[in-house]
Amino acid sequence: MSRRSGRPDSAFMKNKFVLPYEKMTAGTDVAKQFEAAINSKNYAEQMRLGKLVLATDPDNVKVYIILGVVGLNDPSLLSDSAQYAKRAIEMIEGGKPFAPLFDSNKDKALANLTYAVAKATAATSQTDAIPLLLKAARYESEQKRNPQLYLDLADAYEKGPRAKLSSEYKSKIAPDGTETPESKLVLANLNQVVDRQIDAWARAAALATDANTKKLILDDLTALYKYRNKSDAGLNELVAGILAKPLPDIPTPLTSLPTTPVSTPASSGSPSGTNGTTSSNTSTNVQSTKGQNKTGATGATGAQNSNKTTSGPKPSPSPTPGVKPKPRRANHRRG
């Protein structure tokens, strides 16, 4: 306060009132811009502005959720998004309120957040992504009916445990190419993984609504099923009834050969493969384009996406015990 006039001096007033007010109004402006980015589905801006919001409001679970699912709409943001998804999961499971996001549906929020973490994890470890994909699929949400999630699951089995077991199988074969007790045990474990792939592909086929996409999935599922079961008998019944069956867990590793052949879990009565399997010749990957899941499933932020489908790049076939892989088809495209 000025000694002469008895009035507060300008420096005091600025520090006491002006700067806090400017900071408060700046935060309001950022919040408004953040809301506008959400409404316009500008995912890069959501990430940028959401970080600014959290700098002044670090316990805002709603912002953590929004940033956590951004990566499902824009894969370029997935690595950052997954970190926020993990924190959002911790906050929700700790009892933090999150309405009105996801219609106050806890399962829906957790499914989308877990799926984002799973997809980010798959970039470095397909094997580690499997339990997260299974967890995301088991929540009661739109992700449970998203064919892309099951295609991701099949791909994770393919590139993770199946690739490892295929390589191990080849190392256990005798020099003359005959089976050994060790190679037979590896093969039994490999067949369990292939059975999980078949289950995931069947779910994707059952859930796909676009006719072209459904055909592509069924073509590859049929090839894999035939190699595993030596016949396509029971395949139609498998797809028709697969959604009524529980999603199987990751197989427990076998430490000794089973006394009876292990049949494909989802196709009771089908013969079990004994000479190994081959990977399907392609993997139909219904990917996101411009922030939209092209399977027609509801997007992570609740917006309904189109039914147009786009196939993405195909994974390389894994080494195959006992069977020469078929040549890969060209990438599927739909105009």
Burial 272-290, CB ≥16 within 10 A → b, else e: bbeebbbbbbbbbbbbbee
The pTM score is 0.74
Residues 157 and 101 in one domain: no
Closest CA to 158 of 66, 296, 277: 277
CA pair distance 236, 230, nearest whole angstrom: 15
pLDDT band, very low/low/confident/very high, at 100 (cuts 50, 70, 90): low
pLDDT value at residue 27: 61
CA Rg value for the chain: 26
CB within 8 Å of 262: residues ≥ 6 apart: 188, 191, 192, 195, 272
Query: Which of 180, 220, 186 is closest to 204 using CA atoms?
Result: 220
Neighbouring CB atoms inside 10 A of 312's CB total: 16
Q: How confident is residue 98, by pLDDT bands cut at 50, 70 and 90?
A: confident
Average pLDDT over residues 138-145: 96
What integer is the mean pLDDT of 157-186? 96
- Residue with the bigger pLDDT between 159 and 105: it is 159
Residue among 82, 209, 95 at smallest CA distance from 148: 209
286 forms beta bridges with 311
Beta carbons within 8 Å of 131's beta carbon, 6+ residues apart: 250
pLDDT of residue 91: 95
Strands 292-293 and 288-289: antiparallel
Q: What is the 3-class SS of 273-315, one letter each residue?
A: CCCCCCCCCCCCCECEECCEECCCCECCCCCECCCCCCECCCC
Count of domains observed in the chain: 2
Same domain, 292 and 193: yes
Instruction: Report which residue type is found at 93.
Output: E
Q: How many angstroms separate the CA atoms of 292 and 304, rounded?
A: 9
The CATH number assigned to the domain holding 105 equals 1.25.40.10
Within 10 angstroms of residue 328's Cβ, the number of other Cβ atoms is: 15
136 lies in the same domain as 212: no
- Residues 206-262: tens digit of each pLDDT: 999 999 999 999 999 999 999 999 999 999 999 999 999 999 999 999 999 877 655
Q: Are residues 132 and 225 in the same domain?
A: no
By percentage, how much of the chain surpasses pLDDT 70? 68
Judge whether residue 304 has pLDDT over 50: no
Alpha-carbon 31 to chain mean position: 30
329 shares a domain with 182: yes
Over the chain, what is the mean pLDDT? 78
Poorest-pLDDT segment among 59-63, 81-85, 222-226, 255-259: 255-259
Q: Which of 98, 126, 143 is the endpoint of a domain? A: 143
> Is residue 123 located within the same domain as residue 12?
yes
| Confidence band, pLDDT 50/70/90 cuts, at residue 288 | very low
More confident residue, 92 or 4: 92
User: Do 117 and 159 fall into the same domain?
Assistant: no
Residue 319, pLDDT above cutoff 90: no
Of 121, 143, 165, which one is at a domain's C-terminal end?
A: 143
Q: Are residues 78 and 198 in the same domain?
A: no
Specify whether 244 is located in the same domain as 173: yes
pLDDT of residue 10: 53
Answer for the pair 144, 130: CB distance below 8 angstroms, yes or no. Answer: no
Contact indicator for 195, 238 with CB cutoff of 8 Å: no
Given a cut of 90, whether residue 55 has pLDDT beyond it is yes
Total Cβ atoms within 10 A of residue 6: 7
Examine the pLDDT at 164 and tell me if it is beyond 50: yes
Report residue 96's pLDDT band, with 50, 70 and 90 as the boundaries: confident
Give residue 7's domain range: 1-143
**90 and 162 housed in the same domain:** no
Q: Do 65 and 185 belong together in one domain?
A: no
Hey, what are 1's tokens?
């306060």
Confidence of residue 193 (pLDDT cuts 50, 70, 90): very high
Confidence bin at 111 (pLDDT 50/70/90):
very high
Confidence at residue 258, expressed as pLDDT on a 0 to 100 scale: 77
Q: Which of 109, 143, 177 is the last residue of a domain?
A: 143
Residue 57 confidence (pLDDT) above 60: yes
Same domain, 52 and 126: yes
The pLDDT of residue 28 is 77
